[in-house]
Amino acid sequence: MISSLDNVEAITVFSDDVSASREFYTAVFAASILFEDEVSVALRIGAIVINVLARTEAPALVAPEPVAESGAAASVMLTVNVADVDAVCAALRESGVDLVNGPIDRPWGRRTAVFLDPSGLPWEIAQELA
C-alpha cells in the first residue's frame, strides 16, 4: 500500500446534465455547494466531495484514455451506510427517486438498495444486519 493514497477527498462524476445533477445531489443528499461554474459543481456530502463535471470537459482530465459514452454500463458504484435501508428507500421514493433494486438482504450481512443519479451513476445504500 502507498500510504500517501489513503485520503480520498473527492470523486468526479462525468455528467450529461450538470444542472440536473446539482439539483439531484442537493435534494437527495442535502449536499452543500462548494464551487460551481458553467461546466461543473463541487458538492460536499459528509466527508467527501462529489465533483460533477460536464462529460464534454472530461477528456482533458483523462486523456489519452477515453471517456465512457453516456449510458454506458456502470463501472463504479458508491455506497452510503445507513441505519435503516427501508426508511431511506421510502424517503427516496417520496422524493421521486426510483430504485434500481432492493431492498435486498445480501448473503454478506447487509441489506441494500440501489438508485441512480441523473448521469446513471449507481448509489447503494447499505445497512448492516444483526
Q: Report the residue count for the chain.
A: 130
Residue 2 has pLDDT above 60, yes or no: no
Residue 108 has pLDDT above 70, yes or no: yes
pLDDT at residue 1 in the model:
61
62: number of Cβ within 10 Å: 12
pTM of the model: 0.81
pLDDT at residue 3 in the model:
62
- Percentage of the chain exceeding pLDDT 90: 73
pLDDT at residue 116 in the model:
92
Query: At CA 45, angle to CA 40 and CA 46, rounded to 5?
Result: 150
Which has more confidence, 76 or 87? 87
29-49: average pLDDT: 96
The 10s digit of each residue's pLDDT in 40-83 is: 999 999 999 999 999 999 999 888 888 988 888 777 889 899 99
Domains in the chain: boundaries:
1-70, 73-130
Query: What's CA 81's distance to the chain center, in Å?
Result: 13
Q: Does domain 1-70 have CATH number 3.40.449.10?
A: no
Note every long-range contact of 69-73, with CB atoms under 8 Å and residues 24 or more positions apart, other chains counting. Answer: 70/16, 70/119, 70/120, 71/120
Mean pLDDT of the chain, nearest integer: 91
User: What is 73-130's CATH topology?
Assistant: 2,3-Dihydroxybiphenyl 1,2-Dioxygenase; domain 1 (3.10.180)
The 10s digit of each residue's pLDDT in 88-99 is: 999 999 999 999
Which has more confidence, 78 or 3? 78
